[in-house]
Amino acid sequence: MLKSQSRLLPLALLGLYALTTLSGCASNQAAPAAKAEAKPAAAAPAPAAQKVDHYFVIHHENGRFYQIADVANYLEFLHTNELIYTRTRVGAGPDGATLVFGIEKKEADNLAQPSRAELFYDGKYEPTGPFYGEVFKDGRFYVFGDWKDFKDYKEHGEMAYTFTEVGVGPNGETVVYGLNKDTIKAGRPVALVEKFNALRKKN
């Protein structure tokens, strides 16, 4: 209130008032300003998870090779032996086998374009980020966590380095993990085993 009224005082009195305020007793001095509380640093946003490319191949007992690039379609096919949307190439596979490509629902809206599974098979798609793939053949799962390892198997039909676990598949199948000269050094491929189980939500 005094501060707002000082505008109406003569200049001489204003000087006296200011002097009195500055030379008053300690109890009248303004308390030092409290230190501003430091705000905690904002947490850095979590990095966006990289999209994982998937590619699955099934050597079916009916003699056909099924190529699938979608997890849901793959798991559904393993359970029911059926795919809703497919494209077939008769006699175009190894030794004249028929190829059946699973088509995702979103891909079915434009059938003039090749599906991701076809692009994988034809060598027209190269994953640049995380990759996970499986081959189901002769009652065994062959599991890959690296596209180069999968590609080598696809081209040569064999793997230089593997880690095998008998009877650990969802129905007691043998699971063979494809490795390379670097990953073989770690022994049991724990991360790849976890991915295989996580795909099926296996504890």
Task: Tell me whether strands 65-68 and 99-102 are parallel, antiparallel or unpaired.
Answer: parallel
**pTM given for the model:** 0.75
Is residue 176 a contact partner of residue 136, using CB atoms and an 8 Å limit? Answer: no
Question: Which residues on neighbouring strands pair with residue 100, listed in sequence order?
Answer: 66, 88
DSSP, collapsed to helix, strand or coil, labels residue 99 as strand
Per-residue pLDDT of the chain (203 residues), as tens digits, is: 434 443 433 433 334 333 333 344 444 454 455 555 556 666 666 566 678 999 999 999 999 999 999 999 999 999 999 999 999 999 999 999 999 999 998 998 888 899 999 999 999 999 999 999 999 999 999 999 999 999 999 998 889 999 999 999 999 999 999 999 999 999 999 999 999 999 998 64
Do residues 152 and 183 touch, judged by C-beta distance below 8 A? no
Of all helices (H) and strands (E), which one includes residue 174? strand 174-179
Show the tokens assigned to 54: 């998937």
